[in-house]
Amino acid sequence: MGCDIHAYLEVKNNNGDWLFINEPEKINQRNYRLFATLAGVRNSFGIDPISNPRGIPEDVTDYVKGEFDTWEGDGHNHSYLTAKELLEFDYDKRFELEDGKYSYRDLIDSYSDYFKFLKDLKYFDKPEDVRLVFWFDN
């Protein structure tokens, strides 16, 4: 059975409230190498993720909470990462796998538009006020 990601982009407004922006298509693709990088999901590669799953933020937007609730416990590895964390991660860090040396960029780039998504994140003035909320299903 395959595993898919459900990802939602949120931004904090001037009042400190989070607003739903969109479901980024460049993330919502089946890419186990990306899943391993984001949260250690389907990590048969043995690489260190950006972060271990943190759960859904308490102040998640109503839209994303509604989407989350429709999974009624069938989702797993719920988490979020800020744009700042995503942009500052060292994707060129190298590590060794059984068939050679790779970087995170090597593993992810050939299978997704993830790095195009990261370029889009650079347009936000405060990357710490932008977050990607996500979880996985089987």
112 versus 55: the higher-pLDDT residue is 55
Q: Is the pLDDT of residue 90 over 90?
A: yes
pTM of the model: 0.92
Enter the tokens of residue 121.
Answer: 């994140």
Q: What domain count does the chain have?
A: 1
Strands (E), 70-138: 76-82, 94-97, 100-103, 130-137
109 versus 121: the higher-pLDDT residue is 121
**Cβ atoms of 63 and 20 closer than 8 Å:** yes
Q: Is the pLDDT of residue 110 over 80?
A: no
CA distances from 94 to 4, 62, 64, 85 (A): 26, 39, 34, 18
- For residue 132, the enclosing domain spans 4-137
Q: What is the mean pLDDT of residues 114-128?
A: 91
* CA gap 89, 44 in Å, rounded: 21
